[in-house]
Amino acid sequence: MRSKKFVTILTLALVVTMLWGILPALGAYPVDVEGIRRDVIALKASGVGHTETPEPTSTPVETPEPTPTPTETPKPNPTPTPEPTATPEPTETPELPQPIEVRFEGVIEALPEGSYIGTWVVAGQGVQVTESTEIEGTPQVGVWVSVKANLYSDGSLVAIKIKVKTPKAVTVEFKATIKALPEDGLLGEWVIGDHTVTVDESTQIEGDTPDVGDWAEVKAQIQADGSLLVLEIEVKDKENPPAQEVDFKGPITALPETADYTGVWTIGCCHQVTVTTSTIISGTPEVGLFVEVKALKEGPGAFVALEIVVEASPAEQNRYRFEGTVEALPSNGLIGQWQINGQPVMVDENTIIDQSNGPIGVGVKVEVEVQAPGGDGIPAAIRIEVLHPAHSGSQKVEIRGVIESLPEGESLLGTWVVAGEEIMVDANTEIHGVTPQVGLWAIVKAVPQDDGSLLAQHIEVKGHPHEGSLVEFTAQVISMPDGLIGEWQIGGYTVMVDENTEIEGSPAVGSMVKVEATIGEGGVLLALKIEVIEQG
């Protein structure tokens, strides 16, 4: 009996051992190990009374669902956390270069064939035009356009907007003799004086029937190609030509002894000018004073005055004004020799020094009125006005003109010369437009420094000045020829004045004038109109 019980216990122990050995292989199948262990202990405690020991096969088929033991339940594999390397590196997704928006102007030099889409050449720059480019006006080779484009790191330009700029219509008037007419009818090219003009269906022709030798008064418009299209023309028969209106300047050499100045004046050596009660006289005439005369020419050396403007005394004629930076002062006080923009100026007790805008000192920007000396003497200062103090960083100047020189090498940092002015460019200077080159047109905004130099804050490079294009600016007359015709210096520009230039007012050295001009060969400005804004 005892041996049978021993066999039973041994059998159960073997079963437990077998189950314990195969437990890891069961994996996800739960086994109630603790339940089996409890059964074995119960059998040991049952004693002799148990005559029948259940066979292992008598274990119930349906095992109750065990309560999962945390230590025995397989842990689910965690979801892998993406490593930083799983994030695509910047090199894996190519980034487009960020373009810089630029603006410039110039002449269209080339267009694609058959379509506007493609490569244009504007002011020497290749510009890509796409379907999204906005185009205003009718582009064609030779017209002036403004371009807004994206500049990419590879140097390519993709146009955002292109606008055709219509030049301002400029009208000229002149009187001269008809020298040639079209062979068939009146439409076509006429030669009037030194001008070849075009007459078309829209031209208004008044007066006598035109003939070679007749006198003509012409109003014409300058076209984009520089030609003259006649708007109005009045013809006077050559047998009875009208009096020609002329302008000239000179000193008064003789006056009539009348209270109202009526009678014959002598201007210069040879001009006999008749002054009537209808003549407008500005100023008080005196022998020796300079005058500007507008008159009708009646014959060689004979004139009837329409208007006479007394300009100034001979001494005043030698006065001029300029702006500059004080570079040196006398060692003791203000009386003595100053240095202003490289020019020596003599200051004495009669010089008026206006320091209402700040005290005089080295580096101060001033306006100077001087009396030109005879010979090689030093100009004497009549008046000096402080424009702004040396440390006035908020005061800016604007310079427009052709880039005359750039720093050597590839860097743009250093000294530029624009319109004759030396300008310092540093790492903080903003440069926009086309790539700077000598000969291109630039607009510079700069701040005067303590040492008198100009530090550029912003430079816009516009492109090549187009021969024949129009420019407008206001500046002071620095020098001018006695007879008006010839080369003027206005601001930093050389301006050519000829018999076709329209002049309003009485310009003199020191006058502020508004200039309308075309750009001629070599960048020389050819004046169409000069208007006096403020007398010198």
Rg from Cα positions in the chain:
48
DSSP result, 309-366: EEEE-HHHHTEEEEEEEEEE--SSSSSEEEEETTEEEEE-TT-EEE-TTS---TT-EE
Domain boundary among 115, 138, 164: 164
Task: Give the integer Cα–Cα distance in Å for 273 and 144.
Answer: 47
Residue 11 lies in a domain: yes
pLDDT value at residue 201: 92
> Are 432 and 102 spatial neighbours (Cβ–Cβ below 8 Å)?
yes
> Are 164 and 143 spatial neighbours (Cβ–Cβ below 8 Å)?
yes
Q: Are residues 334 and 309 in the same domain?
A: no
135: domain CATH number? 2.40.50.140
pLDDT value at residue 467: 45
Residue 72 lies in a domain: no
Domain boundary among 388, 408, 429: 388
- Model pTM above 0.85: no
> Are 249 and 236 spatial neighbours (Cβ–Cβ below 8 Å)?
no
pLDDT value at residue 313: 57
Task: Give the integer Cα–Cα distance in Å for 430 and 457.
Answer: 6
Alpha carbon 102 to its chain centroid, in Å, reads 10
Task: Give the integer Cα–Cα distance in Å for 163 and 145.
Answer: 5
Q: Are residues 458 and 411 in the same domain?
A: yes
Tell me which residue has tokens 């006058």. Answer: 511
495 in the Ramachandran plot: left (φ > 0), alpha (ψ -120 to 50) or beta? Answer: beta
Residue 80 lies in a domain: no
Residue 345 lies in a domain: yes
> Are 238 and 223 spatial neighbours (Cβ–Cβ below 8 Å)?
no
**Which tokens hold the place of 165?**
């700029």
User: Which of 289, 210, 211, 224 minimizes the C-alpha distance to 255?
Assistant: 289
pLDDT one digit per residue (tens) for the chain, 536 residues: 555 555 566 666 665 556 555 544 444 444 454 554 565 455 555 554 444 445 555 444 455 555 555 555 555 555 555 555 555 555 544 444 477 788 888 888 889 988 899 999 988 788 999 999 999 988 988 788 889 988 887 778 899 999 987 655 567 787 788 899 998 889 999 998 878 899 999 999 998 889 888 888 888 887 766 688 999 998 887 666 666 778 888 788 899 999 999 999 988 777 889 999 889 988 888 887 888 898 888 766 788 999 998 876 555 556 777 788 888 888 888 899 998 877 789 999 888 888 877 788 877 888 888 877 655 578 888 889 888 665 444 456 777 777 888 888 778 888 998 877 888 998 888 888 777 888 777 888 888 776 777 888 888 887 655 444 566 777 788 888 888 888 888 876 778 898 878 888 888 888 888 888 776 665 677 888 888 887 76
Residue 82 lies in a domain: no
pLDDT value at residue 158: 93
Q: Are residues 220 and 258 in the same domain?
A: no
| Total number of domains in the chain | 7
Domain boundary among 388, 422, 442: 388
Helix locations, 94-150, DSSP H: none
212: domain CATH number? 2.40.50.320
Is 92 in a helix, a strand, or coil?
Answer: helix
User: Which of 248, 304, 303 minimizes the C-alpha distance to 499?
Assistant: 248
33-45 vs 2-26: helix crossing angle, rounded to 10: 170
pLDDT value at residue 265: 92
Strand extents, DSSP E, 28-143:
100-110, 118-122, 125-129, 134-136
User: Which of 300, 342, 301, 345 minimizes the C-alpha distance to 325?
Assistant: 342
Residue 65 lies in a domain: no
User: CB under 8 Å to 372, separation ≥6 — which residues?
Assistant: 318, 319, 320, 379
Residue 67 lies in a domain: no
Q: Are residues 263 and 292 in the same domain?
A: yes
Residue 368 lies in a domain: yes
Tell me which residue has tokens 């890509």. Answer: 128
> Are 492 and 465 spatial neighbours (Cβ–Cβ below 8 Å)?
no
**CA angle at 178 for the pair 173 and 183, rounded to the nearest 5°:** 120
Alpha carbon 491 to its chain centroid, in Å, reads 19
Q: Are residues 338 and 357 in the same domain?
A: yes
Q: Are residues 408 and 363 in the same domain?
A: no
User: CB under 8 Å to 190, separation ≥6 — which residues?
Assistant: 178, 180, 181, 182, 196, 197, 198, 199, 210, 230
Residues of the chain by 3-state class (helix, strand, coil), percent to 5: 10, 45, 45
Query: CA neighbours within 13 Å on the CB side: how many for 122?
Result: 29
Q: Which domain holds residue 479?
A: 470-534
DSSP result, 168-197: PPEEEEEEEEEEE--SSSSSEEEEETTEEE
pLDDT value at residue 18: 63
User: CB under 8 Å to 87, separation ≥6 — which residues?
Assistant: none
